[in-house]
Amino acid sequence: MEAEVGAELCFPQLLNSSCRKPTPHWSEAVILNTLLSFVSVLTVTLNLLVIIAVSHFRQLHTPTNILLLSLAVSDFLVGLLLLPLEIFRQTSCWVFGDLMCSLFIDFSVAVTNVSIGGMVLISVDRYVAICDPLRYSSRITERRVTVCVCLCWFLSFLYSNLLLMDDLVEPGRYRFCYGECVIVVTFIAGVFDLVVTFVAPITAIIVLYMRVFVVAVSQARALRSQVVTAVTLKSSMTVRAKKSELKAARTLGVLVVVFVICFCPYYIISLVDENVLNASYLSFLIFLFYFNSCINPLIYALFYPWFRKSLKLIVTLRILQPGSCETNIL
């Protein structure tokens, strides 16, 4: 009987201070681990392709694509580190120690904030491109966008460290038993974090895209009349340029909508006492939260011809040829 009880503990030698091992049905565990592992590998692969494409081809070195590159890097880290560790945390005893637990959650919060900040920057980029197109090239430059991206990463990690400072200073202070990885945030800190990392960014994104939508509809109507009356090469080129901007706005709009759908449920449950939620449902929302990192590059593949062209060049290793970075990819 003692052996049976000991087998259910993460650390049998600790007896009363050890957590019990998660005991999902073996078939559920196999299906869950296989599916989530596949999602993790797919997330890493697709985002790595985006990173290589935007970094390698000179034509893709645009302000908008720099923002997509930053988003792809954060999504890549989710697939490479956060998703596998989350799978392990949900299905096994945490055996990496309290410090690694604190660092894992700190890194998870920081990378998530980078993604949220990137979505806000993408919304600002599309707002200026559609609502103030004449000054877009002078206001949104590669240098300015690069600085904004670097600030986004720096501030995200700084904010995460400040939010979780107590646990980073004293790892494991909120642990109830050995073998679990949890961090408790006070109610005030939780509300502040909800406003800073969800309510404010989502509000900004919605307001900006509502404005973009209104202007895009009016521009689309104007384009239809211009297509009928266009008689010169210059006017035709203007029409094509406007169509390109509208298409980019629509594509990035889909990206933002999917982002909101994946992130909203997780943040909404942060207002609810986790003790009244089913553990399986809570795990599902966490993995939905991370699944957004896999969907983003699929949106690129669906809507961006340049991604499909660059994918062919990367898979066939033609990017290793001299001068391949100058390939016409657009």
Note whether residue 13 is domain-resident. Answer: no
- Do 208 and 131 meet the contact criterion of CB atoms below 8 Å apart? no
Hey, how many other C-beta atoms are within 10 angstroms of the C-beta on 16? 6
- Do 130 and 84 meet the contact criterion of CB atoms below 8 Å apart? no
Note whether residue 8 is domain-resident. Answer: no
Q: Distance (Å, rounded) from C-alpha 78 to C-alpha 75?
A: 5
Note whether residue 7 is domain-resident. Answer: no
Per-residue pLDDT tens for 108-117? 999 999 998 9
Per-residue pLDDT tens for 117-130? 998 998 899 889 88
CATH number at residue 151: 1.20.1070.10
Query: Residues of 26-51 as b/e, b for ≥16 C-beta within 10 angstroms?
Result: eeeeeebbeebeebbeebbebbbbbb
Q: What is the DSSP letter of 247?
A: H
Nearest C-alpha neighbor of 289 from the set 260, 253, 256? 260
Nearest C-alpha neighbor of 92 from the set 184, 4, 183, 180? 180
- Do 91 and 24 meet the contact criterion of CB atoms below 8 Å apart? yes
The three-state secondary structure class of 96 is coil
Per-residue pLDDT tens for 219-250? 666 666 655 454 444 444 444 445 555 565 66
Q: Taking residues 89-105, report their average pLDDT.
A: 89
Q: Taking residues 281-308, report their average pLDDT.
A: 82
Which pLDDT score, from 0 to 100, does residue 279 have? Answer: 65
Provide the mean pLDDT of the chain.
Answer: 81
Note whether residue 249 is domain-resident. Answer: yes
The model's confidence at residue 3, banded by pLDDT at 50, 70 and 90, is very low
What residues have CB less than 8 Å from 18, skipping those under 6 apart? 9, 10, 11, 12, 177, 178, 179
Hey, how many other C-beta atoms are within 10 angstroms of the C-beta on 319? 16
Number of compact structural domains in the chain: 1
Per-residue pLDDT tens for 193-205? 889 988 898 889 8
Name the residue range of residue 111's domain: 19-326
Q: What is the DSSP letter of 329?
A: -
Note whether residue 156 is domain-resident. Answer: yes
Report the share of the chain in percent with pLDDT over 70.
82
Note whether residue 186 is domain-resident. Answer: yes
What residues have CB less than 8 Å from 243, skipping those under 6 apart? 223
Note whether residue 9 is domain-resident. Answer: no
Q: From residue 186, how far is each of 110, 152, 167, 199 by CA, in Å?
A: 18, 25, 12, 18
Q: Distance (Å, rounded) from C-alpha 326 to C-alpha 328?
A: 6
Note whether residue 6 is domain-resident. Answer: no
